[in-house]
Each structure stands twice: as C-alpha cells, then as structure tokens.
Structure 1
Amino acid sequence: MSDIPLIHFLIVAAALFSIGLAIVVTKKNLIGILLGIELMLNAVNINLVAFSRHDPERLGGQLFALFVIVVAAAEITVALAIILRVYGQYGTVEPDKIDGLKH
C-alpha cells in the first residue's frame, strides 16, 4: 500500500467541497442543488477518513464517515419526496418559480 500524504486528501476534499458549493450557489433547480450538497458531504467524508487513517488506533473518523453516509441517504430520501410533492403542486422544480404556499 502506498503512503499518500495527508495534504493530497485535503486538496481533493477542498476541491470537491468547492465544486459542490459552486453547484449549490449557481444551480436553478432543486435536483442540482441536492447534487451539490451530496458532493459537499462526500468531501467531508474524505476528510474524516483521511484524518482517521493517520491515527490507526482510533476509528472515530471512519465511524463519523459512516454516520454521515447514513444521514446523507436519509436526507436525499426526504428531499426527493419533498421535491416530488413540490413538482406535483407547482409543476416545476425551480426554486425561483415557487413563490407561494397556497393550495
């Protein structure tokens, strides 16, 4: 197994987080925003596992990464259900066009 320095993991995670943040800020539909959030959560997982790798006696980082994966799965399930409901109500998934909370 090759020994990759920690800085390489941090650079990849920072790039992934930045791309996710740019997607969240620039996208005009809810599905794209969810994809950006998922990229940011994956960047957090890379950091957690990378820091856990440098302390092999403790598995806290890997356990937190597993917890983040479970939370991300639950978040995407609930968010997709909400998006489907919004699409059924308004006929669009663009946040700018959803302007009221009426029936």
Structure 2
Amino acid sequence: MEIGLYHYLTLSVILFAIGMTGVLIRRSVLSMLLSIEILFNSINLAALAFNRFLYPATVTGHVFVIFIITIAAAEAAVALAIVMIVYKNFRSLEVEGLTSLKR
C-alpha cells in the first residue's frame, strides 16, 4: 500500500483536532502554547503534502514551511518569556487566575 496525499491530510486533520482540543479544553497557558505548536505543525504537514503530491518538481512548499517554522520558533520564544514573567508576578499559569491583566 502506497502512502498518498489522503493519508498525510488525514494525519494533518487529526493533529489539527488534537491541537484545537488542547487550546479549547486546557486552562494552563503552557498547555495552550504547546497545543498551538501542534496546530502549526499540522499546517506544515498539510503544506508539505500538497507540495509533494501536486507540485513535486518545486521546493516552494519547503521554503514556505521553513518560514512558518522560523516564525513559530520566534512566537514560542516570546510567549515563553511572557509566561515566565506572568508566573513570576502571579505565581500561577491558569487562565482564570490571569483576569487582573485586563486593567
């Protein structure tokens, strides 16, 4: 059995569902951040699968995914720095406990 585009897209949808479930259900900021990273990786997988099966001679999809990974790494670094500052000030990473940030 050959692994085709359908298999990659199915895996991408499963990863996207896991990530979205984590964002919606988890209350810890750190868990939500990890779920967002899973969402980014599912998008990367779909982009690479489309590039591989629809345009096999080009590397445009690979370059696009490298840019997404770079942006995701920068986003994760900034988000982790913010999480560290929030924990230092509030001693909690639960979303419900961070309502005083609205002021």
Residues 14-58 of structure 1, C-alpha deviation per residue, up to 9 Å, x if partnerless? 000000000000001000000100000000010111111121222
CA RMSD in angstroms, aligned pairs only: 1.5
- Corresponding residue of 1:30: 29
- Corresponding residue of 2:12: 13
Q: How many pairs were matched up? A: 101
Q: In the TM superposition, what are the counterparts of 1:84-103 in structure 2 within 5 Å? A: 84-101=84-101
Sequence identity of aligned pairs in percent? Answer: 37
Amino acid at match of 1:14: V
Give the Cα separation in 1 of the matches to 2:71 and 2:34: 15
3-state SS, counterpart of residue 100 of structure 1: helix
Gaps of 5+ in 1: none
Give the Cα separation in 1 of the matches to 2:57 and 2:46: 17
Amino acid at match of 2:21: A
55-64 or 4-13: which moved more? 55-64
Q: TM-score, normalised by structure 2?
A: 0.92
- Corresponding residue of 2:49: 50
Considering fraction of residues, name the structure with more helix.
2
Shift of 1:101: 3.4
- Corresponding residue of 1:40: 39
Moved over 3 A (4+): none
